[in-house]
Amino acid sequence: MRAVGYFAEGARRNGVKRSIAEQNQAFGDFCARQGYEIAGAFLDTADEGGATAGFNQMLQFLGRADRGFTVVAVDSLGALGHDLGQAALRLLEIEQTGCQVVIAASGNEAFRELVDTWADRGDGTPVSEKVRSAMRRKAVRGEVLGRPPYGYRVGPRRRLELVPEEAVVVRYIFRLYLQEEMGIRKIAGQLNSEDIPTRRGGRWSMVTVRDILRNRAYLGHYSRFGTTVTGSHPALVSAEDFRKVQDRLQIHHGAIRTRTVQPFLLSGLVYCGKCQNKLIGVSRRQSWTTKAGEQKSAAYRYYQCESRTNQNACAYNTQRAAELEDRVREALRRDDRPVTRFPRAGNVDGYLVDLIGQVDRVEARIKRNRRQVEELVADAAHGHITVERMKSLGGELAREHLELEAELAAARERLRAQESEAERQKHLESLREKLLRDWTGLPFDALQSALRDIIDRIEVDGEDVRVFLRI
């Protein structure tokens, strides 16, 4: 059996800073006691950014097929992070390689020590965790948390009560779907044609109509944090009608059909030249019988105006996917491009703004991922779930975190490449040439990413296609 040591400069055990030599000595003593062969050791030095090169190298080593049976020993939880949340995330990432992590001094499982330490914090429990526990208790009592669903408002005792003018619309939607047998898109179009606004005064879409049809709050039940309180407020639909609606939704959109989702290359880039809304990817399948009795089927892929697709509005601005993608490729190939950049507000460089926005969005997702891990550890510490259940649920979060870190590194690298206007233009022009040269050989993700780097916006109105470049 083999053991790997991981050391971090500045790590603390019981509040006392431990040197690298002390951590290494504890690791050596652990291997001698347990009879482990030392497979290697990895080190991270302290800096302002919290270096992780050694940790990432260890993950790569642990992911090798020839590593054999290996455990990872650390001097303390402090070696894995400056706080318990970071330590939890790193423990999950290590265990995704199939290796267990132990504390060198005691030989105890690190995850068990993490949960016990979290539970023993007492008054040191973070405010966010205390708020979550308080919210869970309120949910058990049926008190409203967050925004009430359409058709209701929050009453004096924090219970849902009816908003008469909205309640009429909810019942109308259920009647149109169940009794009039209208589809979701047609219902959205009907509401918009009758000038019935949403709560925020906007237009109805397929998504808002579908969410109302699926919301169990209209049965008089309130659900939050895994707790359901029945009969907590007035119902707007009977249990029988709600069941019939769900059955019909399942037939039309449920999992009984096996779907292979194929992403669209120009998603997020194409806009309708008529209403300026986005064009979204739509897939259609058609089956028919020939005069000779032969059964045939075909699949069609389009970019269609979102206003028409979701709100039953706008003109029939629909483009065959392959044809539009070929036209965009041809537009990129031409040297006499009439439009070189889509204008943005003021003199701000739109491309740099987009890159900064990408970094901010990924960082926000990383923070949200970190909070979800901490909530899992808290649930395990308070006995709501087992440690094994926490590991199972946290595994996906750990994988997501690694992907987000890689995405953040790539976004920051693109941002660093834009140090000057001349360098930016040179970089994007080089990317355009490479894109055109390797178009057919690039993997889908790489091709889509390159298009988003050089194209700001594509406007389509029938045969008129305008490609606005960032260069």
Given CA atoms 138, 141, 143, 148 in this order, what sign does their dihedral have?
Answer: positive
Residue type, 372: Q
Low-confidence ranges of the chain (pLDDT < 50): 48-50, 122-125, 127, 129, 254-258, 336-348
- All domains of the chain in start order, with CATH: 2-120 (3.40.50.1390), 138-253 (3.90.1750.20), 350-469 (no CATH)
Please provide residue 455's backbone torsions phi and psi, each rounded to the nearest 5 degrees. Answer: -105, 130
Whether the Cβ atoms of residue 6 and residue 42 lie closer than 8 Å to each other: yes
pLDDT per residue as tens digits for the range 78-96: 999 888 888 999 999 998 8
Alpha-carbon span 197 to 224, nearest angstrom: 27
pLDDT at residue number 256: 42
DSSP strand pairing (227-229 vs 222-224): antiparallel
pLDDT at 341: 40
Give the pLDDT confidence score for residue 467 in this predicted structure: 87
pTM of the model: 0.48
The answer to whether 57 and 106 are in contact (CB under 8 A) is: no
The one-letter amino acid code at 184 reads I
What pLDDT sits at residue 25?
Answer: 94
pLDDT at 292: 84
Torsion of CA 319, 323, 327, 333, to 10 degrees: 150
Tens-digit pLDDT profile for residues 108-154: 999 988 988 887 764 444 545 455 555 555 655 666 666 888 999 98
For residue 272, which phi and psi values (nearest 5 degrees)?
A: -75, 130
pLDDT digits (tens, 9 = 90+) for 378-406: 888 878 788 888 888 888 899 999 899 88
